[in-house]
């Protein structure tokens, strides 16, 4: 019997992705555009948070959004109506966005007249965090109804992002959610993470979140 040949492609795939991501960051900087990769589970309030953020910042800068979904264009239309330039990306069932897909979205968005780009990644707490998209900053959104135990179940995303938005804090009285315990769990995984409790519905905490964006963009 012939010897079975076993080979690994994981390293090459991620090396190629990292190269494309680095090139994307260079290109974005040359065009004075700043990209933030937004990750979360489905239903956490990504689009609602982006709409509130767009309303808060659109008088100061031009904003573009790359909406990634398996299907539909409802989210792209929503952020467009809020005042952002938007494109919809259909992934054909893939559970993440990699650097090549993100670059395609950037090309479609035409960022030469955009200051801030949000990449709304696929709703998933596992797959997206493993791929560098070329974003300058990566953030996660965790909603109060999801519970304070998510860092125990999905540690990698909390360990790798630059900032965590705790969304839907206006409904905290109706859920068994311990903010202090959540923060303790997250900081054990990532001591440098920025945590922003927000409510896109009431506007609570949005000023702190948008101030962080402007600071990271060099506009603080």
Domains of the chain: 10-217 (3.40.50.300)
Cα–Cα nearest to 55, from 206, 180, 215, 163: 206
pLDDT at 5 over 90: no
pLDDT tens for residues 82-108?
A: 999 999 888 777 788 999 999 999 999
For position 46, what pLDDT does the model report?
93
Q: Hey, what are 89's tokens?
A: 């990306």
Cα–Cα nearest to 68, from 109, 121, 137, 117: 121
pLDDT at 16 over 70: yes
- HSE value, Cβ hemisphere, 13 Å, CA-based, for 105: 31
For position 214, what pLDDT does the model report?
98
Share of the chain above pLDDT 90, in %: 80
The CB density around residue 161, as the number of other CB atoms within 10 Å, is: 23
pLDDT at 35 over 60: yes
pLDDT at 7 over 50: no
The reported pTM is 0.92
pLDDT tens for residues 158-217?
A: 999 999 999 999 999 999 999 999 999 999 999 999 999 999 999 999 999 999 999 999
87: β partners: 66
d(CA 65, CA 74): 13
- φ, ψ for residue 126 (rounded to 5)? -110, -60
- According to DSSP H, which parts of 83-168 are helical? 99-109, 150-153, 155-160
Strands in 85-90's sheet, in edge-to-edge order, are 85-90, 63-69, 116-120, 34-40, 137-143, 163-167, 194-197
d(CA 40, CA 88): 18
pLDDT at 57 over 50: yes
Beta strands in the chain (DSSP E): 34-40, 63-69, 85-90, 116-120, 137-143, 163-167, 194-197
């Amino acid at each position: 019997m012939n010897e079975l040949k076993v080979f690994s492609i994981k390293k090459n795939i991620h090396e190629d992705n990292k190269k494309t991501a680095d090139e994307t960051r260079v290109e974005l900087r040359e065009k004075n555009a700043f990209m933030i990769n937004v990750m979360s589970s489905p239903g956490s309030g990504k689009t609602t948070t982006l709409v509130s953020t767009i309303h808060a910042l659109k008088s100061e800068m031009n904003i573009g959004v790359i909406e990634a979904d398996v299907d539909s264009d409802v989210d792209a239309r929503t952020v467009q109506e809020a005042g952002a330039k938007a494109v919809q990306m259909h992934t054909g069932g893939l559970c993440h966005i990699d650097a090549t897909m993100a670059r395609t979205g950037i090309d479609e968005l035409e960022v030469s007249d955009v200051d801030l780009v949000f990449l709304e990644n696929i709703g998933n707490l596992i797959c997206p965090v493993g791929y560098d998209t070329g974003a300058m900053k990566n953030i996660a959104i965790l909603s109060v109804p999801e519970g304070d135990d998510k860092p125990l179940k999905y540690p990698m995303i909390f360990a790798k992002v630059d900032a965590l938005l705790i969304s839907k804090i206006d409904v905290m009285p109706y859920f068994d959610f311990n903010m202090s315990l959540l923060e303790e769990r997250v900081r054990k995984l990532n001591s440098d993470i920025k945590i922003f409790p927000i409510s896109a519905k009431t506007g609570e905490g949005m000023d702190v979140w948008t101030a962080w964006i402007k600071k990271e963009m060099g506009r603080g």
